[in-house]
Amino acid sequence: MPETKKSFIELDPNEAKTLLAEVGGEPFRLAQIHNWIYKNHVADWDEMENIPKHLSQNLSEALPLHPLEIIHIKGSKTEPTRKFLFKTQSGHNIESVLMHDKDRTTVCISSQVGCAVDCKFCATASMGFIKNLSAGEIVDQVLQLERESQKKITNVVFMGMGEPFLNYNRVMEGATRLNTALGFGARRITISTAGIVPKIRQMADENRQFKLAISFNAIDEDRRKKIMPLTQIHSLKSLMESAFYYYQKTKRFITFEFVLLKGINDSPSDGLKLIQYLSGLPCKVNVIPYNEIGGEFSRPDEQTIREFLNTLKQAPFTVTVRWSKGTDIDAGCGQLAVKAI
């Protein structure tokens, strides 16, 4: 891979101040630069109209503004869902998704290149784990998608490539910057995990205000181990104990994601067991009919999905259904994996 240096967006405040002084910029210019980056979403230094040309040239020679480069887009600006392929400065590729739905515009962003968790129904698992993204690379996905979007982004979900809690510190730093620098309310930012138990407890102890989602997908240890090998390290029992701990500590609802897999977890009896399993915990359940990736699993037929959902009508918790958008361009939940263009 090529030798890389930090981009400006990846600098911490002290590093940014030091750089500005080294290239001959007055301290007040930093606020102007941040305004261009976080409010106007500029693509390059020379777009900053109130920054002197000699200063923007010096900054450009010192380091790039963005750590990511858009190299391919699937879908047009008139379509509700588009998928973006980014290249990092180290030459790795990641994907993000931009989705419009009525008054909501959501971005699904990545936290790692590849993923080490190896959920059997997820396309990203086929890549293996390559590297963690920096906080700047996490934030830059949102910045660049904001520039590409026809509408203002309202929600950010860490449900792209990677397991966010295996890159915990950088994910929390990135989410905090989205909250403070870009103005996203903490409750508009959702961080999803396959079930890294110690980090669920840490998030509770740190009283992080972001929403928490847990990929659940099975109501017994054996089945969950088969589709989510992570269960061998963090058992379903310990996961539920951490979920109860999180609620008791924060009094905030967790959203449990439940991917419906044909013949695995899609029967009415599975729905009833799910109710029994979660009825003691104030929460929400988001049912996701499986999005095909050409592997060993398949999506239940519509009748089976309806029968499963009918059993959940008696649930004491809120149930929603995510009819994934962008499945035709492999941008649906679980479909992100870098492929040849």
Q: From residue 152, how far is each of 98, 99, 103 by CA, in Å? A: 11, 11, 10
Catalytic residue from among 108, 119, 283, 333 = 333
- Which residues are CB-neighbours of 307 under 8 A, at least 6 positions away? 267, 268
Spatial distance between the Cα atoms of 66 and 86, rounded to a whole number of angstroms: 11
Instruction: Report the distance separating Cα 246 and Cα 252, nearest Å.
Output: 8
In whole angstroms, give the CA distance from residue 28 to residue 36: 13
SS (H, E, C) 40-108: CCCCCHHHCCCCCHHHHHHHHHHCCCCCEEEEEEECCCCCCEEEEEEEECCCCEEEEEEEEECCEEEEE
DSSP-derived secondary structure letter, 5: -
Annotated active-site residue 333? The verdict is yes
Which of 49, 69, 95, 296 is catalytic? The answer is 95
Long-range contacts of range 213-216, CB-CB < 8 Å, 24 or more positions apart? 213/157, 213/159, 213/254, 213/255, 213/256, 213/257, 213/286, 214/239, 214/243, 214/254, 214/255, 214/256, 214/257, 215/119, 215/257, 215/259, 216/256, 216/257, 216/258, 216/285
State the catalytic residues.
95, 333
